Structure 1
């Protein structure tokens, strides 16, 4: 299925952009954060990549509390 962005209005573009930006933010947040071990970071990266919307929600609910504060 091909997406024709030229036919979308501002509301539709915003509807597509917000989840994508949240996905990018979550992925970058995992990559720059420190966790207790490297395996936890790898698991969160895989969860966010393989389950884009659900992975972001899971990371926001559970993953951010697993980070190590320096």
Structure 2
């Protein structure tokens, strides 16, 4: 049961990251790379995105 809840939390975090990636003002290529990172490495990709990824609408182009 714990693994199911943990998996759900990872899924929610990754969906949140992908939504924020696509709402940022970075180039399409950067969006694609960040999305692939989050999809291929769900936990590590989310952590890297959280600290180094593009920020929502406040991001510089």
Please report the TM-score for the alignment, with normalisation by the length of structure 2: 0.73
The alignment's C-alpha RMSD in Å is 2.2
Count of matched residue pairs? 58
1:21-56 CA distance string (max 9 Å, x none): 101111111112211x22111110111111111110
CA distance in 1, matches of 2:12, 2:31: 20
Map 1:1-70 to 2 at 5 A. 8=1, 12=2, 13-35=4-26, 37-64=27-54, 68-69=59-60
Query: Which structure would you say has the larger RCO, counting Cα contacts within 8 Å and 6 or more residues apart?
Result: 2
Gapped runs of 5+ residues in structure 2?
A: none
CA distance in 2, matches of 1:38, 1:50: 18
Please report the TM-score for the alignment, with normalisation by the length of structure 1: 0.66
Question: What SS does structure 1 have at the residue aligned with 2:14?
Answer: helix
Gapped runs of 5+ residues in structure 1?
A: 1-7
CA distance in 2, matches of 1:14, 1:49: 19
